[in-house]
Structure 1
């Protein structure tokens, strides 16, 4: 007798997966539609706020451009023009063999309605010319042996220039050295030596740092500075006789 075998249908996996995929895709699109709809409603609701924000940002940008065009640039040019008069007297003082103090004072104080370095510093302090006036004023006061004022103006000067930056720091060191504040002088000579690495200012201020360190009996530090000149800057003016300074520092540290 034949036995009836019930035919078992195989699961239609592929078909079901396709349905599930279509369902998932539909859900994603529905979610995106809902998100987009909420975003549109939020934008519509906050339209005035967004527009005001854009106007404010645009206003700030235009204001900044206008400030630079109509305030900063003309002021910078004006300050630069004012700097010509005192700088002329400063240069003359550097070349003169007499009346040097008078020329330096003219450069500092101005004359005939023209500003000097001091006036330019106070009036145009935010400009590059005003910053440069601090340097000239500081060096002028240093030459006039008015050390407190030299330190004051040189401390207000800032520059990343290869020579001016280190020179200004070294000049502060000179001012402190001249009023016998050797520890302060050493600090500024060290800063000047480390400000920029070149064959001119670096060995100069390493040497001054070494000499000052010898004065305050920091002999190992002096030896380190002198040795650095020998190793890194042997062809500099300071490197010519540096061996005797190294030996002097070594001898002093042992006694």
Structure 2
């Protein structure tokens, strides 16, 4: 009797398995077109991404890197107007790099360059536009982005935005040269705006963390002037 019940349970289990398999098969047969369509669409998306990444984006990035070098050379010479639009030798300036190689990391870097160039030629609203468009990565780029935004807003008389940008520049990353430089600007502008606590905090941070920097040699005098 026990064996019979065991055989019956095994038979029921087998029937359940068969029914599940048949159910899945029937579902597939009924919905085969839809399922295959979904799989095909997924493969197309994955395939398109791989084609874009390796056959389009890769060569485009390499071309952008080759194209930007002359503009970078003019930037290093402080020839900011030339770097923006006409670096010479038939090469593209930063603005053309941004337009012609959209979506590449080189075009993203060109936005930072363009923002700094506009800052240096006195076109502060344009500087803000390109700096905000730049997606800052790494150690130096975020500091430069927000520090230059602080400079541009300050030049336009928007001191609240300038203070916010300088604060971001001093906290978004850390560098022995750039961080004390923007802490110093933050302290000076805070003092100008009547925020003595903010000024004191910025100058004291320079004194404590960057005493050997150029700004570190000036902060004792400034700290003494804060009530």
TM-score (norm 2): 0.86
Task: State the partner residue of 2:39.
Answer: 54
Aligned pairs, how many?
226
Alignment equivalent of 1:230, drawn from 207, 210, 216: 207
The structural deviation recorded for 1:24 is: 4.6
Task: State the partner residue of 2:140.
Answer: 163
Q: Which stretch shows the higher mean deviation, 239-248 or 185-194?
A: 239-248
Task: State the partner residue of 1:104.
Answer: 80
Counterparts of 1:29 and 1:201, CA distance in 2: 73
Please list every run of 5 or more consecutive structure 1 residues that lacks an aligned counterpart in the other structure: 1-14, 94-102
Please list every run of 5 or more consecutive structure 2 residues that lacks an aligned counterpart in the other structure: none
Matches within 5 A, 1:27-176: 27-93=12-78, 103-110=79-86, 111=88, 113-176=90-153
Q: Is contact 2:136–2:142 with CA below 8 Å preserved after alignment? A: yes
The structural deviation recorded for 1:169 is: 1.2
The structural deviation recorded for 1:167 is: 1.0
Question: Could you give the per-residue CA deviations for residues 24-77 of structure 1, whole angstroms, max 9, x where no partner exists?
Answer: 554444323322221122223333433333222222222221122332122222
Aligned Cα root-mean-square deviation (Å): 2.4
Give the secondary structure class of the aligned counterpart of 1:239: helix
Question: Could you give the per-residue CA deviations for residues 156-184 of structure 1, whole angstroms, max 9, x where no partner exists?
Answer: 22221211221121011112222332222
Give the secondary structure class of the aligned counterpart of 1:149: helix
The structural deviation recorded for 1:196 is: 0.8
TM-score (norm 1): 0.77
Radius of gyration: which is bigger?
1
| 1:211 pairs with 2:188 | yes
Counterparts of 2:71 and 2:201, CA distance in 1: 41
The structural deviation recorded for 1:23 is: 4.8
Q: Which stretch shows the higher mean deviation, 137-146 or 20-29?
A: 20-29
